[in-house]
Amino acid sequence: MAETTETAAPRRRFVGRKNLNSDSSQPITINETSDTSLIHKKKADRPNKFVSQIPSEILNDEELNKAIAILPSNYNFEIHKSVWHIRKSGAKRVALQLPEGLLLYSCIISDILEQFCGVETIVMGDVTYGACCIDDFTAIALGCDFLIHYAHSCLVPVDVTKIKVLYVFVTINIDTEHLVNTLSHNFKSGSRLALVSTIQFNPTIHDIHTRLLQDHGITTNTPQTKPLSKGEVLGCTSAKLPSKAVSTDEGWDAIVYVGDGRFHLESAMIHNPDIPAYKYDPYSRKFTIEEYDTVELDHARRAAIAESRSARKVGLILGALGRQGNNATLNMLYEKFRERDIQIVQVVLSEIFPGKLAQFPDVDFWVQVACPRLSIDWGYAFPKPLLTPYEAMVSLKEDEDWKNLGYYPMDYYSKDGYGRGKKPIRA
């Protein structure tokens, strides 16, 4: 079974810090192999929704296929679909927006699209943290008439953007055999697992359902928070799940996250503190127990709210990194503070740093309409309290305190979340 491994000391941010007094605090490594590389397996059996629509002359273009072969075979950049959509749209200048980890492939993709579509391409090099950072406004300013956004889901609908947008998920094929064996080795028959992942590994968690149930008696589900895909989890948005403590029949024994890093998994852990969480890293092929210090989260965020309640001047920050900011939420907060005769300073920032906010000494506290994780993860580093929209509404007694809910809600980009310009409806 699993064995304990040593971990480094906690990083300076408290999020994800292990409980060092707990026997289960250290990551547990199982089924480790000497080959830690990502294994290229056959593509998922699930049908490609677009493959039948892409013209055969594009799919069977030998020169195009040779060019595509330069890219990693287990990363699906959907070049055929991209070529088809660009040609169909009649685009002349195409913007390519990729996260940091994929920028090394941008020149190859750019060359392919320029050669086979006859377009000019522009690689957008600004930081891209997620789908909320899709930057159609900058693409338009650069004279682009088409934007391809890589490695994130359709968080901002294509009918909302001001330019034609194609989302390429960049799904990654991994060794599903090892994943199935790992889960069956660590969970007994009759277990109920909630499988979550980022969009890159989303097909994988859907493809292993049947095998786990039929071969190992393990029931799995891919929970959904609309409009996200089934099983998709974001650092700010995840599904609320029943635990076995609440419902023995419908509750879940564990949350299993497939992906590297912890940022997105932490959202599910914060939202579901009563359900054990595990991570399967498809690169290292390690399976680890993950823990989150919700007590420290509670203390830190509650202290920030308490300090803000005696303040008389608030700074409202509208995030300008892509589409992180939401004017409707900003206006909602503005009106709530105005009703209470609290002075308001409005600031637009693409990225929010402690040093920048320190230049506003007269502001007593801040509310940022950008990324809730900025406050949760790094709020302690700012000179004045930095609240999320949810925390600001709690401080104004306009939303339910998480103490009463029994969990800190992570529903920012749900269909009724603050990221959509709405006040969530609490059950």
Same domain, yes or no, for 219 and 129? no
CA pair distance 16, 10, nearest whole angstrom = 8
Q: What percent of the chain has pLDDT over 90?
A: 81
For residue 102, give the H/E element and its range: none
Q: Indicate whether 157 and 251 sit together in one domain.
A: no
Alpha helices in 37-175 (DSSP H): 56-59, 62-68, 79-89, 106-117, 136-141
Q: What is the pLDDT of residue 167?
A: 96
Q: Residue 147 has which token pair?
A: 């934007």
Looking at the structure, tell me whether residues 10 and 68 fall in a common domain: no
Residue 76, SS3 per DSSP: coil
Q: What distances in angstroms separate CA 127 from CA 100, 172, 261, one per listed residue?
A: 7, 22, 18
Residues 60, 114 within the same domain: yes
- The model scores a pTM over 0.95: no
Assess whether 218 and 316 both reside in one domain. no
pLDDT of 294 reads: 96
Any domain includes 345: yes
- Residue 412, C-beta contacts closer than 8 angstroms, at least 6 positions apart: 236, 237, 372, 388, 390, 418, 419
> Residue 354: inside a domain, yes or no?
yes
pLDDT at 200: 95
The pLDDT-based confidence of 48 (bands split at 50, 70, 90) is low
d(CA 361, CA 208) in angstroms, rounded, equals 54
Q: Mean per-residue pLDDT for 379-396?
A: 97
Clarify whether residues 33 and 179 are in a common domain: yes
Is there a domain that residue 47 lies in? no
Angle, CA of 117, 120 and 122, to the nearest 5°: 125
Q: Is residue 240 located within the same domain as residue 155?
A: no
Query: Domain boundary residue among 135, 152, 168?
Result: 168
Domain tally, the chain:
3
The SS3 call for residue 355 is helix
CATH number, domain of 280, equals 3.40.50.11850
Please tell me whether residues 34 and 65 are part of one structural domain: no
The b-or-e profile of 174-207 (16+ CB within 10 A means b, else e) is bbbebbbebbbebbeeebbbbbbbbbbbbbbbbb
Domain boundary among 272, 290, 308: 290
Q: What are phi and psi of 186, to 5 degrees?
A: -105, -10
pLDDT, averaged across the chain = 89
The answer to whether position 389 is within a domain reads yes
Domain that holds residue 231: 3-39+174-290
Residues 252 and 397 grouped into a single domain: no
Provide mean pLDDT across the span 307-318: 96
Among 135, 153, 168, the domain-final residue is 168
Burial of 325 (0-12, 13-18, 19+ CB in 10 A): buried
Task: For residue 156, give the CATH number of its domain.
Answer: 3.40.50.11840
Q: Which two tokens stand for residue 18?
A: 């292990």
Q: Is residue 49 part of a domain?
A: no
Q: Confirm whether 265 is domain-assigned.
A: yes
* Distance in angstroms (rounded) separating the CA atoms of residues 232 and 282: 16
pLDDT in tens, 54-103: 999 999 999 999 999 999 999 999 999 999 999 999 999 999 999 999 99
The predicted pLDDT at position 157 comes to 86
> Around 179, how many Cα atoms within 13 Å sit in the side-chain half-sphere?
27
Q: What is the DSSP string of 141-200?
A: HTT-SEEEEESS--SS-TTTSSSEEEEE---B---HHHHHHHHHHHS-TT-EEEEEE-GG
Same domain, 19 and 118: no
